[in-house]
Amino acid sequence: MRLSLSNVCKSYGQNQVLNSLSIETPEFHSLAVIGPSGGGKTTMLRIIAGLERPDCGEVRINGELLVFDDISLLHHRRSVGTVFQAYNLFPHLTALENILLPLKHAHGYSQVSATQTARTVLERFQLGAHADKKPAQLSGGQLQRVAIARAIATKPRFLLFDEPTSALDPEMTSEVLDIITELREEGRDLVLITHHMSFARTAADYCLFMANGRIIEDGPIEPMFTQPNSPELQRFLGRVMRYQ
Ligand SMILES: Nc1ncnc2c1ncn2[C@@H]1O[C@H](COP(=O)(O)OP(=O)(O)OP(=O)(O)O)[C@@H](O)[C@H]1O
Ligand SMILES: [Mg+2]
């Protein structure tokens, strides 16, 4: 896929979070977004997901202009798979029901075909035995697997991940990172905000480094790590790679 953002700005009150952000990526399959906390990564991803409107600027995905009226946004959101750090599962519904809900209500599946699709994705992520459990009865890793299962059940055009492992312990983190690797190897396009630099390096083919609401540097992943150009990226990598 390709992403193109042109002079995108977004403020919350006095706080300018995206500061005339522009980027035009080449074709990629897996894009890693890295950068310091508060730099605007999540805000940019939410705009790409159609969950947030920019105050100005243009967003194109594969050359197609994203239109920010209610109807267009609704269609767009339904075509994208999103997985965020806090699971976003409904606590009163079982794992199975959480996956059924968007299939039936947003995508028009019948009860029978939705159930069939949901059971298939649950099995795929070894969650078959947990289908009838509610979120409170599942571990963090299982919850995140349900969230990923729900995201891919609707056959999205691409997947967006925002620090999907930040709430997980190391073992569950590997479990979820393995799934993301698998999805990538299947040829799904994805955008991933992550603070796992070694994972970004193996899983992504292109990288954006964001700070202070702008893209400071972008390029194919490996040279970004081995030959960072900007002092900001050099400083950032110096800090975060110390304990990797
Ligand atoms: N809904 C909101 N209302 C008000 N301020 C917000 C909102 N969302 C984000 N912000 C502010 O925007 C700035 C950028 O936030 P954002 O979450 O995009 O950064 P980030 O790069 O994802 O950071 P982190 O790595 O900590 O997740 C922060 O100062 C944050 O407080
Ligand atoms: Mg964030």
Per-residue HEC secondary structure of the chain comes to: CCEEEEEEEEEECCEEEEEEEEEECCCCCEEEEECCCCCCHHHHHHHHCCCCCCCEEEEEECCEECCCCHHHHHHHHHCEEEECCCCCCCCCCCHHHHHHHHHHHCCCCCHHHHHHHHHHHHHHCCCHHHCCCCHHHCCHHHHHHHHHHHHHHCCCCEEEEECCCCCCCHHHHHHHHHHHHHHHHCCCCEEEECCCHHHHHHHCCEEEEEECCEEEEEEEHHHHHHCCCCHHHHHHHHHHHHHC
For the chain, the domain total comes to: 1
- All residues with CB under 5 Å from ion ligand 2: 41-42
Q: Is residue 17 part of a domain?
A: yes
Mutate to test the pocket of ligand 1, among 10, 11, 12, 214 (most ligand atoms within 8 A of CB): 12
Q: Tell me the CA–centroid distance for residue 70 and ligand 2, in Å.
A: 24
161-171 pLDDT tens trace: 999 888 788 88
pLDDT at 244: 67
Name the closest ligand to CA 36: 1
Q: Tell me the CA–centroid distance for residue 43 and ligand 2, in Å.
A: 7
Q: Is residue 33 part of a domain?
A: yes
Percent of the chain, pLDDT > 90?
Answer: 84
Range of the domain at 40: 1-79+189-244
92-104 pLDDT tens trace: 999 999 999 999 9
Q: Tell me the CA–centroid distance for residue 139 and ligand 2, in Å.
A: 22
Q: Is residue 181 part of a domain?
A: no
Q: Is residue 220 part of a domain?
A: yes
Q: Is residue 24 part of a domain?
A: yes
pLDDT at 171: 84
Q: Is residue 207 part of a domain?
A: yes
175-207 pLDDT tens trace: 889 999 999 999 999 999 998 898 999 999 999
Q: Is residue 162 part of a domain?
A: no
Residue 57 belongs to domain with CATH number:
3.40.50.300
Q: Tell me the CA–centroid distance for residue 36 and ligand 2, in Å.
A: 9
34-87 pLDDT tens trace: 999 999 999 999 999 999 999 999 999 999 999 999 999 999 999 999 998 766
